[in-house]
Homo-oligomer: A and B are copies of this chain.
């Protein structure tokens, strides 16, 4: 008997990455193509097709899962626009890829894929429910309850990065003020540091190196970010009551600088009945393509985006 396989596609800032996975999450093959900011809808769709094609061996492939940053419409399977690929507009990803390969296609925002990947392949599968936060360029979130992804309206559920942390606070990329993304993400740390010092950092690593070296401005910004994130996670926990809260994404590479403090603050602020059961931990940083593939495994043989 052949094994069930799935293709997962991770549409990132500068590339499209695809992987062929079995149900154990083992990557059997992979493929990567670069993207650039000049791409039209048609050329972008071709690149996705060309990334997937080499993985279509004679195998039992159940379907194709695709994850990308939003804004997207997971119901119709359209990418509405992209910060990194500015010429794209209302790209019919699901339908095009489905027609091209005659396979079911499932499309969700990347944080939702990460949450589902964490549930299936990241040690959270025994949890009744898990809230996953992606801490990277921005802040994303996903929630899986009893194995079911809470996708929200057109895939916009659990946009934890745009929960308000500080009323009237720092301006966010979304146009509003005080979102947690402005206080605990690569963009947030860089912008807060420039505000305080005039110095422009290039990435989160530089920021955390400053913290490690004893830079008091960086430390103050991180401490306030931890407080903001703890309060935001508290609010989310009081709504959703997850059994597990898992942090993933590039910023968790510096977990040693904030993980214990963040965990303790969250625990000290939530209802005892929820705290007793709650597990808080840093995740495995699974490949985005595996998260996308888990859309396929979790949806089995039902129709696209159902």
What does the 1/0 interface line of A158-173 toward B look like (CB < 8 Å)?
Answer: 1110111111000000
Known contacts A239-B236, A241-B152, A243-B153; A167 and B273 CB within 8 A of each other? no
One complex includes copies of this chain to the number of: 2
Distance from A146 Cβ to chain B, minimum over Cβ atoms (Å): 12
Interface-side segment among A18-26, A196-204, A226-234: A226-234
Asked if A31 is at the interface (CB within 8 A of a chain B CB), the reply is: no
Q: In the assembled complex, which residues on chain B have CB atoms less than 8 Å from the CB atom of A160?
A: 238-239
Asked if A240 is at the interface (CB within 8 A of a chain B CB), the reply is: yes
**Contact in complex: B238, A159 (CB < 8 Å):** yes
Asked if A277 is at the interface (CB within 8 A of a chain B CB), the reply is: yes
Asked if A126 is at the interface (CB within 8 A of a chain B CB), the reply is: no
Known contacts A164-B232, A164-B235, A235-B235; A274 and B156 CB within 8 A of each other? yes
Q: In the assembled complex, which residues on chain B have CB atoms less than 8 Å from the CB atom of A101?
A: none
Q: Which residues of A contact B (CB under 8 A)?
A: 71, 73, 128, 141, 143, 152-154, 156-160, 162-167, 174, 176, 178, 227-228, 231-232, 234-236, 238-241, 243, 269, 271, 273-274, 277
